[in-house]
């Protein structure tokens, strides 16, 4: 229960500072955790980033204020962190479907995004096989795309990226260059309070293989929690990642270190019910 109490404290702090600029470090301190770990936990538990949640809450409060008071649109926009009436109107219309001035009309329909809450859910119906391993830094070769967490866009774009790389021969080229016949899906460049990151389909290449127009990145040395995943892609890997953040992290003495996250795909039928893959999460002791 301690973990849920700490997350509740962080939500309380977020609500108290709705009229201020979003400060992930301050909110994470209320949860006694690192900004990166708080951001990843929040996203995996709610399906949205902290920034996305704060934006929807601010626009809910702004709509309520416009509908129930005579406050000027400019004053409300500035109060909730918008630099101009134009940027406020654009964001307001995207959420509510109307302009801020129309929110004053009697009987107008507004959308309310309520405050979220965390509840303890005891599952434990499936085992989670994992091991803790330390590994030195290593180099990967591959192709990248920029993706966004907003509205779950990454869950749609990444499977499409894999499909494209299989169809255009990229995956086959990387597999032939791999030193160990393994392909990786890697989440890179993730930062607190940002909704965008880089996703890379890659291999650990033979030492003498040229990059052939691919990107080269270094995966830093880390302590990894390595989880075994059984089932067809992409559903099995997406479900396992959710369970790691929803069940495993809250029940252990570890937190995310802030490094890249790896999906490890050995040769085989990735769409088969018995396909075995792995998820590597970089961890540190709290």
Q: What is the CATH number of the domain that holds 222?
A: 3.20.80.10
Same domain, 156 and 73: no
Same domain, 152 and 271: yes
Same domain, 228 and 137: yes
Q: What is the pLDDT of residue 267?
A: 93
Q: 106: which DSSP letter?
A: T
The whole-angstrom separation of Cα 199 and Cα 78 is 35
Same domain, 151 and 15: no
Structure token pair of residue 32: 């006694």
CATH number at 82 reads 1.10.10.60
120 falls in which pLDDT band (50, 70, 90)? low
Same domain, 256 and 194: yes
What does the radius of gyration of the chain's CA atoms come to, in whole angstroms?
22
Query: Residue 27 in contact with residue 181, Cβ under 8 Å?
Result: no
pLDDT tens per residue across span 65-74: 999 888 999 9
Task: Tell me the backbone φ, ψ of residue 201, rounded to 5 degrees.
Answer: -95, 120
Same domain, 97 and 186: no
Q: Is 81 exposed, middle or buried (0-12, 13-18, 19+ CB in 10 A)?
A: middle
pLDDT at residue 200 greater than cutoff 90: yes
Same domain, 246 and 195: yes
Same domain, 86 and 191: no
Q: 148: which DSSP letter?
A: E
pLDDT tens per residue across span 36-88: 999 998 988 888 889 889 999 999 999 999 998 889 999 999 999 998 889 99
User: In 3D, which of 284, 276, 199 has the Cα closest to residue 249?
Assistant: 284
Look at residues 104, 121, 156 and tell me which one is the last residue of a structural domain.
104
Look at residues 69, 104, 139 and tell me which one is the last residue of a structural domain.
104
Q: What is the pLDDT of residue 261?
A: 96
Residue 52 placed within a domain: yes
Task: Tell me the backbone φ, ψ of residue 92, rounded to 5 degrees.
Answer: -65, -45
The whole-angstrom separation of Cα 207 and Cα 237 is 29
Percentage of the chain lying above the pLDDT 90 cut: 59
**Mean pLDDT of all residues in 221-235:** 95
Residue 113 placed within a domain: no
Query: 95 lies in which domain range?
Result: 2-104
Residue 142 placed within a domain: yes
Element (H, E) at 43: helix 35-46
Omega of the bond leading into 234 within 30 degrees of 0 (cis): yes
Token pair 């997350």 in the structure block, residue: 7
Reading phi first (left if > 0) and then psi (alpha if -120 to 50, else beta), residue 60 is in: alpha
Residue 119 placed within a domain: no
181 falls in which pLDDT band (50, 70, 90)? confident
Same domain, 91 and 135: no
User: Which neighbouring-strand residues pair with 279?
Assistant: 227, 263
Same domain, 263 and 136: yes
Residue 117 placed within a domain: no
Same domain, 96 and 135: no
Look at residues 60, 89, 104 and tell me which one is the last residue of a structural domain.
104
135 falls in which pLDDT band (50, 70, 90)? very high
Same domain, 239 and 97: no
Q: What is the pLDDT of residue 184?
A: 98
The whole-angstrom separation of Cα 15 and Cα 10 is 9
Number of domains comprising the chain: 2
The whole-angstrom separation of Cα 48 and Cα 57 is 12
């Amino acid at each position: 229960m301690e973990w849920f109490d700490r997350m509740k404290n962080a939500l309380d702090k977020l609500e108290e500072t709705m009229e201020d600029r979003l400060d992930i470090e301050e909110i994470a301190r209320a949860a006694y955790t690192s900004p990166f770990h708080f951001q990843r936990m929040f996203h995996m538990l709610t399906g949205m980033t902290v920034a996305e949640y704060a934006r929807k809450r601010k626009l809910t409060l702004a709509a309520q204020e416009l509908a129930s008071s005579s406050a000027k649109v400019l004053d409300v926009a500035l109060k909730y962190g918008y630099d101009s009436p134009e940027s406020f109107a654009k964001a307001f219309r995207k959420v509510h479907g109307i302009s801020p001035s129309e929110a004053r009309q009697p009987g107008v329909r507004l959308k309310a995004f309520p405050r979220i809450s965390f509840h303890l859910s005891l599952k434990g119906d499936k085992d989670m096989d994992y091991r803790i391993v330390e590994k030195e830094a290593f180099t990967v070769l591959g192709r990248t795309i920029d993706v966004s967490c907003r509205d779950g866009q990454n869950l749609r774009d990444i499977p499409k990226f894999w499909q494209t790389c299989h169809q255009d021969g990229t995956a086959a080229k990387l597999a032939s260059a791999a030193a160990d016949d393994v392909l990786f899906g890697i989440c890179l460049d993730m930062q607190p309070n940002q909704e965008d990151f880089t996703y890379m389909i890659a291999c650990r290449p033979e030492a003498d293989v040229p990059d052939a127009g691919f990107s080269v990145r270094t995966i830093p040395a880390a302590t990894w929690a390595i989880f075994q995943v059984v089932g067809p892609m992409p559903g099995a890997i997406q479900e396992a990642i959710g369970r790691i953040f929803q069940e495993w992290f809250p029940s252990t003495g570890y937190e995310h270190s802030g490094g890249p996250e790896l999906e490890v795909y050995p040769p085989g039928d990735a769409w088969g019910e018995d396909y075995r893959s792995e998820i590597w999460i970089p961890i540190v002791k709290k």
